[in-house]
Amino acid sequence: MQASATEIQNAIQKAVQAFQEMKYPVTKMQLIEKAKSLNARSEVMQAIENIPDKEYHSSSDVLKEFKGIQNVMQAFRDVKFPATKKQLIEEAKKLHARDEVIKTLESCSDREYTNFSDVIKECKGRIELAKPR
């Protein structure tokens, strides 16, 4: 059974809470190791892999990066999968998603996606997407 956007979002929240307990500054690799130690969901690991490779000075720095991915998940929580790239773009436009989200979706492969995790995997590296305004 595939994870829902809500389940993924909850898993990200759990990881962010664990990151608050870390001693800062930390690197992206340290965040990845912490998530592994928590047996974080694959979607959380992908989210961490998608954040910029830099040193983070507080948990709020990390949270800002995760917010972008959470915003996208929130926007697509009601999408019925499987969905085509075209359907995802249309849904994003209906939801008045930020231009970055639409541009990111447009840069992804033109195929049918089975679930939200599939979209994240496919668009990996392109999800600078929805950084908070």
Is 104 in a helix, a strand, or coil? helix
Q: Which amino acid is at 104?
A: T
pLDDT on residue 67: 75
Residues 6+ apart with CB under 8 A from 7: 41
pLDDT on residue 74: 67
Work out the pLDDT band at 133, boundaries 50, 70, 90: very low
Q: Quick: pLDDT tens for 9-68.
A: 788 888 888 999 999 999 999 999 999 999 998 878 877 877 788 999 998 888 887 777
Domain-by-domain residue ranges, the chain?
5-122
pLDDT on residue 132: 41
Sign of CA dihedral 44, 129, 107, 114: positive
User: Does the pLDDT of residue 131 top 50, yes or no?
Assistant: no
User: Does the pLDDT of residue 129 top 70, yes or no?
Assistant: no
Model pTM score:
0.62
Average pLDDT value for the chain: 81
- Comparing C-alpha atoms, which of 114, 3, 128, 5 is closest to residue 67? 128
Work out the pLDDT band at 130, boundaries 50, 70, 90: very low
Work out the pLDDT band at 111, boundaries 50, 70, 90: very high
| Percentage of residues in the chain having pLDDT higher than 90 | 29
Sign of CA dihedral 35, 38, 41, 42: positive
